[in-house]
Amino acid sequence: MLTSFDDYPIHSGSAPVNETGTSDPNHYDRYFFNGYRSDASLYFAVAMGLYPNRHVADASFSVIVNGQEQISIHASCRAHPDRAKTNHVGPIQVNVLEPMKRHQIIVDSAEHGVKADLIFVARSGPVQEPHFLVKAGQRTLFDYTRLTQFGHWSGWVEVDGVRHEVDATSTYGSRDRSWGVRPVGPAAELGAPVGERQFYWLWAPINFENFATHFDVNEYASGKRWHETGFIIPDGDQAAHEMERVEYATTWRPGTRWAQEFSIDLIDEAADVHSIVLEPLYEFHMLGIGYGNPEWGHGHWKGELAVGSERWALPVQNPCDPRNIHIQALCRATMTDAQGVTHHGIGILEQLILGPHEPTGLTGIIDPSR
């Protein structure tokens, strides 16, 4: 089917733009943004996903004010076949004002007590993470590309009639764009089990005064890595400095699968070590933007248009409830670079740990740390 985007020289294959390279129902295309004040008094995030082979689009916006309550707006609809018209789902819009430089988030859900008009301006160019590819037996489980980018926010967020101004001098954040294949939508019968049920994921984009750092790892239960990323990204047009390797150390908070203490070593090609210590402040639950949400999960068909909201007090009382496992912990960051200079920043440590992980002593599917 031809659409307006087919009039641009953007094709990567012989099919029209709105036809995916695979008929896999788990094909997706997603935006993610987060933002946080440097004093930690405000945190917000948005996710918007398109699932062309499911004919579904969805979006969520979630906000925390003063670390006390997380409030979320969710929307889901039939996906428009024209990619030029997929920038909004119900009351949530993601507008690309200038590709890779400026984006706008608009939320207009007064009936649920949340409105917002926010502008994200990039500090530097995006970094492309190594390709994600994992198979479960002969079946492709993950096959996707992702970029990560850092920036500042301006605008406002309104919660229950109270407007919170967002100033670019004090509100940082990051975004990612990913597309390809990974599990989305309702669970399907896939035949005989292959391998153990396990997923270990740590992702830490951090904003410092004049640069940003990026870290992530995926590991099997044995601790063997199947994905890792490390970057130091200067502000402006300078090229990102990709690390030779990354290492980390963690101490789990008893009764959770969340870090109580966490440190990162970014090791460059000269074997110089840039060390970061993270101090978790509070948790943003990814449930609030659809991840693992039993009612508003990504790629679920909920009708031509459905809109709803959720609220819960923080901190949660049951951190190992499956709905609460996946978090982004807002963290203070202290970095000692290879020259011994200390830098202070703020960012997040995303954590999703399901199943055993031998190096850190976790067992079972969601058994807490002891």
pLDDT band at 21 (very low <50, low <70, confident <90, very high): confident
Local confidence band at 45 (pLDDT 50, 70, 90 cut-offs)? very high
Average pLDDT over every residue of 85-95: 96
pLDDT in tens, 264-275: 999 999 999 999
Q: State how far the Cα of 287 lies from the Cα of 314, in Å rounded to an integer.
A: 13
pLDDT band at residue 18 using 50, 70 and 90 as cut-offs: confident
pLDDT at 303 exceeding the cut of 80: yes
229 pLDDT exceeds 90?
A: yes
Query: According to the model, what pLDDT value does residue 244 have?
Result: 97
End-to-end CA distance of the chain: 55
The hierarchical CATH code for the domain 27-186+194-360 is: 2.40.370.10
Whether 322 has a pLDDT exceeding 80, the answer reads: yes
List pLDDT tens digits, range 71-85: 999 999 999 999 989
- Say if residues 343 and 335 touch (Cβ distance below 8 Å): yes
pLDDT digits 0-9 by tens, 331-343 = 999 999 999 999 9
* Assigned token pair, 162: 């109270």
Rounded to whole angstroms, the Cα distance separating 327 from 348 reads 9
How far apart, in Å, are the Cα atoms of 296 and each of 184, 239, 266, 282, 286? Answer: 12, 38, 36, 23, 11
